[in-house]
Amino acid sequence: MKALSIFFLTLIFAVGFAVAADQPQPPAVGNPAPTFTLPSQEGAQVSLDQFKGKWVVLYFYPKDFTSGCTVEAHNFQRDIDKYTAKNAAIVGVSVDTVDSHKGFCTKEGLNFKLLADPDHAVVSKYGSVMEYNGMTLAARNTFLIDPTGVIRKVYLKVSPQGHSEEVLTDLAQLQAK
């Protein structure tokens, strides 16, 4: 009986690790940021390389019009002048459509780019995929990318409240170096 229990526990761990290994991992600090081109809420194609020479706050969020995502977006919008003063652009990515982003930006008064990734290509490249109630969504992760395209800070499983302030503090510290 004990041998059978150990066998099943080993099998459960092996399956768990195999599933975890299938999930793409987020790129690490010091690595080049994965490139991408996605449509914005205006329908225009936006590429990471369009931001060369600027810092980029690339944030992934689960869904337009939800409470946590709205709080996070409002806080980035509230602080947008501070980011602009630090030569930083804010770019949000979710698996929602261009039309959803357009409505979200209009309703919430958002003036930064929200990119549509309904095929999960970029959320996968950034290891920011999650499953929720049978849906594939973007996990709430943020990547602070320097003007040369290198990742300088990674934030995983972000709490929407206070996140913008945290990024601004880290950005100031990184720029002071």
- Paired with 33 in beta bridges are none
Sign of CA dihedral 86, 128, 70, 165: negative
Evaluate if residue 161 carries a pLDDT over 70. yes
Angstrom distance (rounded) from CA 44 to CA 38: 8
pLDDT at position 2 is 55
Evaluate if residue 143 carries a pLDDT over 80. yes
User: pTM of this prediction?
Assistant: 0.86
pLDDT at position 1 is 55
Average of per-residue pLDDT across 142-151: 98
Q: CA dihedral defined by 56, 127, 98, 40, rounded to 10 degrees? A: 20
Average of per-residue pLDDT across 24-43: 96
Q: If pLDDT is split at 50, 70 and 90, which confidence band does 24 have?
A: confident
CATH topology of domain 27-176: Glutaredoxin (3.40.30)
Evaluate if residue 16 carries a pLDDT over 60. no
pLDDT at position 81 is 98
Average pLDDT of every residue of the chain:
90
pLDDT at position 177 is 86
Catalytic residue among 69, 88, 158, 171: 69
Q: Domain boundaries in the chain?
A: 27-176
pLDDT at position 22 is 58
Lookup: tokens for 139: 């996990």
pLDDT tens-digit readout, 63-109: 999 999 999 999 999 999 999 999 999 999 999 999 999 999 999 99
Q: Residue 105 catalytic?
A: no
* Cβ 50 vs Cβ 75: under 8 Å: no
